[in-house]
Structure 1
């Protein structure tokens, strides 16, 4: 994850949600107001790679 200045924001290790194996979580520290960009990638159950990205705003 990066902030609006393209500075990396450290995240805790990603973990699969125990209630839903299709969900992964990576806890973030308290975030200041601004826009953040997340790029993610994972390996699917059948060995294919999946990736994506999204942005969000903290007000």
Structure 2
């Protein structure tokens, strides 16, 4: 794999980690059931994105 592809997966891994932090706060501190559900959905997506990024980029 070339360096450009590694950079893309590195960015995906970091985006997934940041989304995971934001989504966990939203899921825990949401005032309405819709906010909690949105936090849970974003949390699941962030786990998928992070896994995808770390599958190809291993620090």
Q: Report if TM-score (shorter chain) is over 0.5.
A: no
Higher relative contact order (CA 8 A, sep 6+): 2
Q: TM-score, normalised by structure 1?
A: 0.22
The structure whose residues are more often strand, as a share, is: 1
Q: TM-score, normalised by structure 2?
A: 0.22
